Amino acid sequence: MDQYIGLDVSLKDTAISIRQDGKRVWRGKCPSDPKALAQMISKHAPQAKRVVFETGPLSTWFYHALTAEGLPAICIEARHAQKVLNETLNKTDANDADGLAQLAEAGFYKAVRVKAFDSMLTRTLVAARNQLLSISKQLSNQIRGLMKTFGLIVPKGAGRVFDANVRGLLDGNAGLELVVLPLLEAWRDIRRHAANLDHQVLGAARESQATKLLMTIPGVGAVTAVSYIAAIEDPVNFRTSRSVGAWLGLTTRRYQSGEIDYDGHISRRGDGQLRGLLYEAATVLLTRTSRRAECSLKTWGLKLRERLGFRRAAVAVARKLAVIMHSMLKTGEVFNALAGDPA
């Protein structure tokens, strides 16, 4: 007989619930280690039909490790599962595992595509680079703020210019040097590490033909192209190109009840990091591209800006970029600047 397993995963322990023929037949706990879980499941549920757990920090590791052990692992959408699990009177790990097992048995869940480790490594690389750049900006602002207190205004400039300006203003002020120079050295080290990660991103972009293809779009750089491919993985994962915009949370939400029917802001569901990069690419396309990079997409976006404002126009262009990039990956064609409305 088929058995259905629900796993409530936490960093230390994982609650397990096993159902068969509409009844719970066993439940317990196990350390959050896929191999130990696989042994426990094989012992108590040799005819496992579905092993269900929610999305979370450990979901990628659990999915691939359990699949490698031969178990039918399924990662489901946490927001969808919580709507059902919240109906439980007492919220405990064991009860959550019971609820997940019931969802597995009923088939009432929304499965999530789990990315491969290579794609996750690329996403981690981009996220680490962005984090270092953010810390670098915070440190430079902190240095400016500390020096401003003593009447030392650091002129505009970045990189070596900023470093030279700070050192020039600190010359002769031994007391302030002891405070600011350690921050300046930390700023330089962080920028150096961020530059190393930049080189890794550029190296990954050069090795990928798909990335080079996407970079033919004005405003789309290596970071955006690499991040997009890591998120999409295979264009076949999406039935239509239009669905990519909704998957990234770039389409408006709708609320309808009786006589009430209105559209709200974009849903902002999905990959926030990639959504931000596409918005940045759309901003560059609308404001910084040269006349030689004129295209129908930019013309459409500028007309939309006159009617709706810049932010809404940039969001709309970002959605179009997501759709166009998926279409390009599917067909293998370079960006056509003179093409009509493709989305």
Q: Can you tell me the distance from the alpha carbon of 327 to that of 241, in angstroms, rounded to the nearest whole number?
A: 6
Q: pTM here?
A: 0.87
Q: Can you tell me the distance from the alpha carbon of 33 to that of 15, in angstroms, rounded to the nearest whole number?
A: 12
- Written out in words, the top-level CATH class of the domain with range 3-106 is alpha beta
- pLDDT by position in tens, the chain (length 343): 899 999 999 999 999 999 999 999 999 999 999 999 999 999 999 999 999 999 999 999 999 999 999 999 999 999 889 888 888 888 899 999 999 999 999 998 989 999 999 999 999 999 999 999 999 999 999 999 999 999 999 999 989 999 999 999 998 888 999 999 999 999 999 999 999 999 999 999 999 999 999 999 999 999 999 999 999 999 999 999 999 999 999 998 888 888 888 888 889 888 999 999 999 999 999 998 887 778 999 999 999 999 999 999 999 999 999 999 999 999 999 998 887 554 4
- Which of 159, 153, 209 lies closest to 334 in space, CA to CA? 209
Helices (H), the chain: 34-44, 59-68, 78-85, 93-106, 117-148, 160-170, 174-207, 209-214, 222-232, 242-247, 272-287, 296-308, 310-331
Backbone angles phi, psi at 159, to 5 degrees: 65, -130
The span from the first CA to the last CA of the chain, in angstroms, equals 48
pLDDT tens per residue, range 32-68? 999 999 999 999 999 999 999 999 999 999 999 999 9
Q: Which long-range contacts (CB under 8 A, 24 or more apart) does 257-262 make?
A: none
SS3 assignment, position 259: coil
pLDDT tens per residue, range 281-310? 999 999 988 877 789 999 999 999 999 999
Q: Can you tell me the distance from the alpha carbon of 105 to that of 19, in angstroms, rounded to the nearest whole number?
A: 7
> What are the structure tokens assigned to 343, written together?
């989305």
pLDDT over 90 percentage in the chain: 83
Domain boundaries, the chain: 3-106, 117-207, 211-331
